[in-house]
Amino acid sequence: MQGTVDGFSYGAVTPLVAYLMACLGGALGLRCTTRALLVTHSWRPAWLALGAAAIGSGIWTMHFVAMMGFAIKETPIHYDKPITYASLGLAIVMVGVGIFVVGYRGATGTALFTGGTITGLGVASMHYLGMAGVHFHGRFTYNTLTVAASVVIAVVAATAALWAAGRVRGFLWSVGASLVMGLAVSGMHYMGMAALRVHLDGPSHATGGAPEPSVLAPMLIGPLAFLLLAAVVVVFDPLMVMGRPVRRIAEHKPGVPAAAVASHLDRRPALHNERRPEHHGSRTR
């Protein structure tokens, strides 16, 4: 028996709020990744980890805000909490792997392709694992081509976002990049939902419809609180607002780890200083 799906039970409210959550997570993650590319190795892992957690939490929150408007008219739906939280962990871990690749190898070439692919697959995996946590009186099936298209969107969006993190320094440019990333992530979600088909095991005696906001809202509290905390960290770091690096020399090397640039160039003054006494002595003799 075919089920009837309504992905917009609350109208435009859930897609709009979901898009804003994706933009928020993307903006915080991009700024943290940018910051990581401009500092030496001692602080880089912390900034990269914060960026990964921000992006992962943002896309996860986006997904389940959008799912508040998802309903099957013939049967009620429920959420498996362990699987739902596992999708959050998967998103953070896979996004983190991609971000660390770019953070230590630079946002160019093979490193950008590898990091973007892993991050995009993390976004897609989060979506489909989260959908596996949706329980009802039936099962989901997916159109293979549409699923493939949603994965491609996720990979392209992630690669573009990581490229922006390595190349973009200005605050307004980062905001623009996060808006594009939010649009791509939301597009990936709804493309994945378009691939979905609902098959019911039989007539249900319960009334269908979208779950009450109170069902998903408690699960969103933790990620939302973390995004707020990450926003505070970013806002109170003046280098994040202005896009200025700790070492001025690194600002002209977008996508290249600052430690490598700094360590290479820091040796030049030392050699210059070593020659200076000899030169000075030759003039006094």
Query: Phi/psi zone of residue 13: left (φ > 0), alpha (ψ -120 to 50 degrees), beta?
Result: alpha
CA-CA distance, 18 to 160, in Å (whole number)? Answer: 20
Distance of CA 90 to the CA centre of its chain: 12
Mean of pLDDT over the chain = 78
Q: Is the model more confident about 151 or about 165?
A: 151
Residue range 93-139, pLDDT digits in tens: 999 999 899 888 887 889 999 999 999 999 999 999 999 999 888 89
Strand duo 138-142 + 134-135: pairing: unpaired
Strand duo 134-135 + 78-79: pairing: antiparallel
With contact defined as beta carbons under 8 Å apart, do 241 and 106 qualify?
no
Q: Which of 128, 131, 74, 122 is nearest to 95 (CA)?
A: 122
Residue range 4-27, pLDDT digits in tens: 888 888 888 999 999 999 999 888
Which residue shows structure tokens 């976002």? 161
Q: Which of 197, 198, 193 is nearest to 208 (CA)?
A: 198
With contact defined as beta carbons under 8 Å apart, do 184 and 137 qualify?
no
CA-CA distance, 50 to 234, in Å (whole number)? Answer: 10
Reported pTM: 0.75
With contact defined as beta carbons under 8 Å apart, do 26 and 187 qualify?
no
Residue range 36-47, pLDDT digits in tens: 877 667 788 888
pLDDT of 248 over the 50 cut: no
Residue range 49-96, pLDDT digits in tens: 998 899 889 999 999 899 988 988 888 888 898 999 999 999 999 999
CA-CA distance, 56 to 123, in Å (whole number)? Answer: 8
CA-CA distance, 232 to 160, in Å (whole number)? Answer: 25
CA-CA distance, 120 to 94, in Å (whole number)? Answer: 9
